[in-house]
Chain A
Amino acid sequence: MADSMAQTAPQDGGTRRDFLQLVTAAFAAVGVGTLAWPFISSMNPSRDVLALSTTEVDLTPIATGSAVTVMWRGMPIFVRNRTAEEVKEAREVPVADLRDPQTDQARVKKDNWLVVVGVCTHLGCVPLGQKPTDPRGEYGGWFCPCHGSHYDTSGRIRKGPAPLNLAVPDYVFNTDTKITVG
């Protein structure tokens, strides 16, 4: 900022005036910059939005092999109670073969419970696979109908354009049958 001011200043002669103008312009620029902040900040999430950023999920009604979708921050969260077979499948894959290498153990807190953000990492569609009738893709997890990404039973990307595994949100087990997401 000071540089660009200095370019225009020398034409006017008297250095005292130049300096004074420079200081005034700098001062005004700081003021304008400061006043811009409230405008920018007002577009960030407001306090009522932030206050709703945790969601509690009761796990009792979710039978083995089925899944529920809950809302968290306006996004679907997939909570799946995996069968022993699905867990085994997920853990037998050599990690080195994966596009986004992660072990299944690193993605869950309890073996059978998988909690992921149900948003495809390609361009944000919601993958299919929650309902029993949905296609689950070639790897038994989820299939994104928008551009054909296949996720496995750990929610990891296996085939298609998506670059990353389905994200695991921050969550804690409050009790054995209740989690809080966020």
Chain B
Amino acid sequence: MASGLHNSEVANPVLRWIDQRLPVITMMQKEYGTFPTPRNFNYFWNFGALAMVNLLIMIATGIFLAMNYTPHVTMAFDSVERIMRDVNYGWLLRYVHANGASMFFIVVYIHIWRGLYYGSYKAPRELLWMLGVVIFLLMMATAFMGYVLPWGQMSFWGATVITNLFSAVPLVGPDIVTWLWGGFSVDNPTLNRFFSLHYLMPFVIFGVVFLHVAALHITGSNNPLGIDPKGPQDTLPFHPYYTAKDSVGLVAYFAFFAVLVFFFPNLLGHADNYIPANPLVTPAHIVPEWYFLPFYAILRAVPDKLGGVVMMFGSIAILFVLPWLDTSPVRSMRFRPLARPFFIVWCVAFLVLLYCGGKPPEEPYVTISRVATAYYFLYFLVILPLLGRLERPLPLPESIARPVLRGGGPLPAGAMSKPMEKA
């Protein structure tokens, strides 16, 4: 073996030649082949892989849509309709892209929920979690700018309202908004820069996803029991066990996605966005896309402009410090009898906010939004820090393998079942 070459174990001579010089095959084998993975994942652990696939679908369809889209205020709407009518399979590309955004948020919300329930944000995975929050923020920015591109009524007025949020910044607010717009209202310069950034952001997301996965492969995955693997008996090689399991989830995801695209392509959209943008007429009910509704509800729950904006961004920013707000040493909610009901109420509050965000800003929705917003923050800022001191967690299982192999013993119900058989 020549010095300086990687010690490759690949059999095929051509692949071996490459692997000695650029050990990508060894790396893939290590990170996705033999990578030791907790043996007790349930199907919630599919959603990271699903999000990755979803990102790739969005990039692929987006690149092909961009080949036919014109980012100009007089032509954007028509160019989108041309994609729908005249470009071969253009309707398919556009509906996959538009519904793909919704699917992306469904998948990522479930992925985040999984992290919250099973305590995946706790040491040593704090940075992994924070990178995830960065991805979530980038996704929101990308989705928002993408929604502006068809230049319908909701595009225009969504862009107007959301960019105006920045006018709440003290002193320089109005200047920031003018800078964002490139003019004195949302107009052609705004559309052009949004298109440029909308094309750029997915690749930034891809970069952060790479870091997210890299960080994951340093600490290893969390698991439904929230305890660390203690040896080889607690883990399985990623391939074929989790490639097979992820495939099942992936097909189910595709089936759901297909039903949305082929039978209800406009269900999650707004009829108003099929009306070309008109700067003189605001639609009667302007609401953001469904995935922004919880945060929109928080914005509207606060009767102060700056306060509302701060609370809205704060509701996401708070996730960055969550690893330190939750003081309990136990990760999985399965072993946290007190935290679990509080968390379930938090989930309900989140769904209530999602519902109220789509309702007109009138009673009783305003009051309900305020209660839900208060609980949203209370949970993170007061309940979680206190519970870490007050709660007496259930006894943790000795190891991941033990409850699986013995199928019984003095363990809580959740740990006794065979987690692979779920769903």
Any A–B CB pair closer than 8 Å: yes
Asked if A175 lies at the interface with its beta carbon under 8 angstroms from chain B, I say no
Near B by CB (< 8 A), chain A positions 28-72 give 28, 37-39, 41-44, 46-49
**Interface-lining segment among B85-93, B266-274, B318-326:** B85-93
Of B90, B240, B247, which contacts A42 at CB under 8 A?
Answer: B90
| B67 adjacent to A43 (CB under 8 Å) | yes
Q: Which residues of A contact B252 (CB under 8 A)?
A: none
Q: Which residues of B contact A44 (CB under 8 A)?
A: 88
Q: Which residues of B contact A42 (CB under 8 A)?
A: 64, 67-68, 87-90, 93
Q: Which residues of B contact A49 (CB under 8 A)?
A: 86
Counting chain A CB atoms within 10 Å of each CB, the highest count among B88, B90, B93 belongs to B88
Q: Chain B contact residues: over half helix, strand or loop, or mixed?
A: helix
Of A12, A38, A41, A46, which contacts B82 at CB under 8 A?
Answer: A46
Taken together as a complex, chains A and B put the C-alpha atoms of A46 and B79 apart, in Å, by 12
Asked if B204 lies at the interface with its beta carbon under 8 angstroms from chain A, I say no
Asked if B123 lies at the interface with its beta carbon under 8 angstroms from chain A, I say no
| A38 adjacent to B67 (CB under 8 Å) | no
Asked if B390 lies at the interface with its beta carbon under 8 angstroms from chain A, I say no
| A39 adjacent to B67 (CB under 8 Å) | no
Of B60, B68, B89, which contacts A41 at CB under 8 A?
Answer: B89
Q: Which residues of A contact B60 (CB under 8 A)?
A: 39
Q: Which residue of chain A lies nearest to B91 when distances are taken between CB atoms in the complex? A: A38
Q: Which residues of A contact B93 (CB under 8 A)?
A: 38-39, 42
Taken together as a complex, chains A and B put the C-alpha atoms of A24 and B248 apart, in Å, by 11
| A39 adjacent to B86 (CB under 8 Å) | no
Q: Which residue of chain B lies nearest to A44 when distances are taken between CB atoms in the complex? A: B88
Chain B proximity of A64: nearest CB distance (Å): 42
Q: Which residue of chain A lies nearest to B61 when distances are taken between CB atoms in the complex? A: A39
Q: Which residues of B contact A46 (CB under 8 A)?
A: 68, 82, 86-88, 90
Of A39, A41, A47, which contacts B85 at CB under 8 A?
Answer: A47
| A38 adjacent to B86 (CB under 8 Å) | no
Q: Which residues of B contact A12 (CB under 8 A)?
A: 240
| A39 adjacent to B82 (CB under 8 Å) | no
Given A39-B60, A39-B93, A42-B93, verify A47-B86 contact (CB < 8 Å): yes
| B87 adjacent to A39 (CB under 8 Å) | no
Q: Which residues of A contact B85 (CB under 8 A)?
A: 47-48
Taken together as a complex, chains A and B put the C-alpha atoms of A41 and B240 apart, in Å, by 35
Q: Which residues of B contact A48 (CB under 8 A)?
A: 82, 85-86
| A38 adjacent to B87 (CB under 8 Å) | no
Counting chain B CB atoms within 10 Å of each CB, the highest count among A37, A38, A42, A43 belongs to A42
Taken together as a complex, chains A and B put the C-alpha atoms of A41 and B86 apart, in Å, by 12
Taken together as a complex, chains A and B put the C-alpha atoms of A22 and B21 apart, in Å, by 32
Taken together as a complex, chains A and B put the C-alpha atoms of A48 and B90 apart, in Å, by 13
Q: Which residues of A contact B88 (CB under 8 A)?
A: 38, 41-42, 44, 46-47
Q: Write out, one digit per residue, whether chain B residues 87-110 have a CB within 8 A of any chain A CB (1) or not (0).
A: 111101100000000000000000
Q: Which residues of B contact A28 (CB under 8 A)?
A: 247
Q: Which residue of chain A lies nearest to B89 when distances are taken between CB atoms in the complex? A: A38
Of A24, A39, A47, which contacts B64 at CB under 8 A?
Answer: A39
Taken together as a complex, chains A and B put the C-alpha atoms of A24 and B243 apart, in Å, by 13
Chain A proximity of B131: nearest CB distance (Å): 29
Q: Which residues of A contact B240 (CB under 8 A)?
A: 12
Chain A proximity of B143: nearest CB distance (Å): 22
Q: Which residue of chain B lies nearest to A49 when distances are taken between CB atoms in the complex? A: B86
Chain A proximity of B103: nearest CB distance (Å): 15
Taken together as a complex, chains A and B put the C-alpha atoms of A64 and B92 apart, in Å, by 52
Taken together as a complex, chains A and B put the C-alpha atoms of A179 and B170 apart, in Å, by 69
Of B68, B92, B247, which contacts A38 at CB under 8 A?
Answer: B92
Chain A proximity of B108: nearest CB distance (Å): 22
Q: Which residue of chain B lies nearest to A50 when distances are taken between CB atoms in the complex? A: B86
Taken together as a complex, chains A and B put the C-alpha atoms of A39 and B85 apart, in Å, by 15
Counting chain B CB atoms within 10 Å of each CB, the highest count among A12, A37, A39 belongs to A39
Q: Which residues of A contact B64 (CB under 8 A)?
A: 39, 42-43
Chain B proximity of A13: nearest CB distance (Å): 12
Chain B proximity of A22: nearest CB distance (Å): 13
Taken together as a complex, chains A and B put the C-alpha atoms of A8 and B61 apart, in Å, by 32
Taken together as a complex, chains A and B put the C-alpha atoms of A41 and B88 apart, in Å, by 6
Q: Which residues of B contact A24 (CB under 8 A)?
A: 247
Chain A proximity of B240: nearest CB distance (Å): 8
Q: Write out, one digit per residue, whether chain B residues 233-274 have a CB within 8 A of any chain A CB (1) or not (0).
A: 000000010000001000000000000000000000000000
Kindly list the 9 A-B residue pairs having the minimum CB-CB distance in the complex, ordered from nearest: A38-B89, A48-B86, A46-B86, A47-B86, A41-B88, A46-B87, A38-B92, A42-B88, A42-B89
Give me the interface of A with B, judged by CB distance under 8 Å.
12, 24, 28, 37-39, 41-44, 46-49
Beyond A39-B93, A42-B87, 11 additional pairs, beta carbon < 8 A:
A24-B247, A28-B247, A38-B92, A39-B64, A42-B67, A42-B68, A42-B93, A43-B64, A46-B82, A47-B87, A48-B85
8 pairs, CB–CB < 8 Å, chain A vs chain B: A38-B88, A38-B92, A41-B89, A42-B87, A42-B90, A47-B86, A47-B88, A48-B85
